[in-house]
Amino acid sequence: MQTKPFRIGTRGSPLALAQAFETRDRLMAAHGLGDEMFEIVVMSTAGDRITDRALAEIGGKGLFTQELEDKLLSGELDFAVHSSKDMPTRLPEGLFLSAYLPREDARDAFIGRAGPRLLELPEGSVIGSASLRRQALIRRLRPDLQVIVYRGAVETRLRKLDEGQVDGTLLALAGLKRIGRTDVVTEILDPQEFPPAPAQGAICIESRKDDLRVAALVEAINDIPTFEAVTCERAFLSALDGSCRTPIAGFAQTDGQTIRFSGMILTPDGTWHHRVEREGPASDPEAIGRAAGDAVRAAAGPEFFTSWS
Ligand SMILES: NCc1[nH]cc(CCC(=O)O)c1CC(=O)O
């Protein structure tokens, strides 16, 4: 019988902590365990420390995960809780995503100071966002707006907005819900016009492949529809990857039988984009995402990926 508490790794941002506590609470409820059986271990990652540059510039994905993964591999942590959106498509040897929590709303939220709606902002308004996808989508819909790189924890971004450094910003609705700050949202963006990032809104658990005890523990809270949708979206991302500088959006929905996926790639300036729609059996989410990725890559042609890099 397990006597030592499970060590749960997380970043220290308010959102990361909320996600780690939600995971712990679900595990306690599923197994009838007390909180003494879990220890939350907070770690700082490179992504948390470097806040003045765009992520793609300093190395992109992996910046929020590497320190946690090192501690998983050394056995100092039993599992880590992440935003699936922050996870690289390829994980270190020996680690895997062993469970997904039920997905929150995957849509993006607009938070406007100069106006409540993105499409109605005064010409030349300044939007802060560090996400290549959001920057490109804004430029596509509103080429007249000025987009500036804007990072940091949610509360920092909201303060900068209040101070007037920008006229608006975009955040995942899911994150705002989890930290109880949906009060700032002025518009929820239509996922057809403003499609979310692959895996947005889904919390995942990462653990060692050979740790069957943890696999059995977390299996009890794994949400199958979220697993199917996010696996499909991550396969799309993986089929297109090669560059973390490509703005990519992708969203899958499943009814347990069929997965419906829709994806979009854009040039960073928003002038070109390609959409793809695919559906297929929920039993093979990866194949659907991969086929969608291959199709959109073929439709866009090689110059799409080289003309602006
Ligand atoms: N590192 C950015 C990040 N990773 C996950 C979320 C939101 C929560 C989610 O998508 O599950 C955010 C912030 C944002 O995009 O607003």
**Cβ neighbourhood burial of 280 (10 Å; 0-12, 13-18, 19+):** middle
201 lines ligand 1 (CB under 6 A): yes
Give the global pTM.
0.94
Over residues 105-138, the pLDDT tens digits come to 999 999 999 889 999 999 999 999 999 999 999 9
The mean predicted confidence, pLDDT, of the chain is 93
Domains and CATH numbers, the chain: 1-101+202-222 (3.40.190.10), 108-188 (3.40.190.10), 223-309 (3.30.160.40)
Q: What angle do CA 27, 32, 34 make, to 5 degrees?
A: 80
For residue 271, what pLDDT is reported? Answer: 95
For residue 231, what pLDDT is reported? Answer: 98
Locate the DSSP E strands across the chain.
6-11, 38-43, 79-83, 95-100, 108-112, 126-128, 146-148, 168-172, 187-188, 203-208, 248-254, 258-266, 273-281
3-state secondary structure 156-209: HHHHHHHCCCCCEEEEEHHHHHHCCCHHHCCEECCCCCCCCCCCCCCEEEEEEC
Backbone angles phi, psi at 2, to 5 degrees: -70, 130
Q: Using the predicted structure, report yes or no on whether residue 309 has a pLDDT greater than 90.
A: no
What average pLDDT score do residues 64-93 get? 95
Top mutation candidate among 11, 15, 169 for ligand 1, by most atoms within 8 Å of CB: 15
For residue 155, what pLDDT is reported? Answer: 85
Taking every pair of Cα atoms in the chain, the longest distance, rounded to a whole number of angstroms, is 64
Distance of CA 214 to the CA centre of its chain: 23
Report residue 217 as tokens.
């523990």
When computed from its CA atoms, the radius of gyration of the chain, rounded to whole angstroms, is 19
Q: Please give the ipTM for the structure prediction.
A: 0.97
Report residue 157 as tokens.
């971004």
246 lines ligand 1 (CB under 6 A): no
Over residues 156-173, the pLDDT tens digits come to 899 999 999 999 999 999
Sign of CA dihedral 240, 241, 243, 246: positive
Backbone angles phi, psi at 206, to 5 degrees: -115, 135
CA 95, 100, 106, 110: dihedral to nearest 10 degrees? Answer: -70
Over residues 263-286, the pLDDT tens digits come to 999 999 999 999 999 999 999 999
Backbone angles phi, psi at 250, to 5 degrees: -170, 135
Nearest residue by C-alpha to atom 9 in ligand 1: 201
Q: Alpha-carbon distance 66 to 8, whole Å? A: 15
Over residues 236-267, the pLDDT tens digits come to 999 997 556 789 999 999 999 999 999 999 99
Over residues 196-206, the pLDDT tens digits come to 999 999 999 99
Helix (H/G/I), strand (E/B), else coil: 118: helix
Nearest to 154 by CA among 134, 136, 170: 170
Q: How many residues comprise the chain?
A: 309
Top mutation candidate among 83, 107, 108, 244 for ligand 1, by most atoms within 8 Å of CB: 83
Nearest residue by C-alpha to atom 7 in ligand 1: 175
Nearest residue by C-alpha to atom 11 in ligand 1: 201
For residue 51, what pLDDT is reported? Answer: 66
Contact status, residue 109 vs residue 173, Cβ threshold 8 Å: yes
